[in-house]
């Protein structure tokens, strides 16, 4: 079972930046889709950014394109989410997840994932 632990959340002013990290307990680069998701009160869980299973395409929610970047450090088995130009609407608990069989843009769908971290709070406020 893959274990994931997010870190890097916090309070940031609008227009600021944060970098979330998610080390995995095993090598996941070749076998799993890897995604970042977020949950805010009153809103459904949203796929933010992901690498798909198989051919490693990256996908982003329209709301974060051009501002967020997903990346991996394979040597460290770690997934990152670089978040720039943060907006109050980005406030949420952010989760990383790993799963098999999430191909193409389906990797933005949370139902495709088997393993989840505990989440890290991101608050964007002045």
pLDDT for the residue 1: 83
pLDDT for the residue 35: 94
Distance CA 94, CA 120 (A): 5
C-alpha 67 chain-centroid distance:
13
pLDDT for the residue 25: 87
Assess whether pLDDT exceeds 80 at residue 55: no
pLDDT greater at residue 28 or residue 72: 72
pLDDT greater at residue 112 or residue 60: 60
Long-range contacts for 28-32 (Cβ within 8 Å, ≥24 apart)? 28/2, 28/77, 28/98, 29/72, 29/74, 29/77, 31/100, 32/2, 32/98, 32/99, 32/100
Q: How many helices (H) and strands (E) does the chain have?
A: 0, 10
């Amino acid at each position: 079972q893959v274990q994931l632990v997010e870190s890097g959340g916090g309070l940031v002013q609008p227009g600021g930046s944060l970098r979330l990290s998610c080390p995995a307990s095993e090598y996941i680069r070749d076998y799993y889709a890897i995604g970042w998701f977020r949950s805010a009160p009153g809103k459904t869980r949203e796929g933010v950014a992901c690498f798909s299973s198989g051919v490693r395409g990256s996908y982003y929610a329209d709301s974060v394109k051009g501002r967020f970047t997903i990346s991996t450090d394979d040597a460290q088995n770690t997934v990152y989410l670089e978040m720039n130009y943060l907006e109050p609407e980005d406030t949420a608990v952010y989760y990383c997840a790993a799963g098999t069989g999430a191909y193409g843009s389906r990797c933005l769908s949370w139902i495709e994932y088997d393993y989840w971290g505990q989440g890290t709070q991101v608050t964007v406020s002045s």
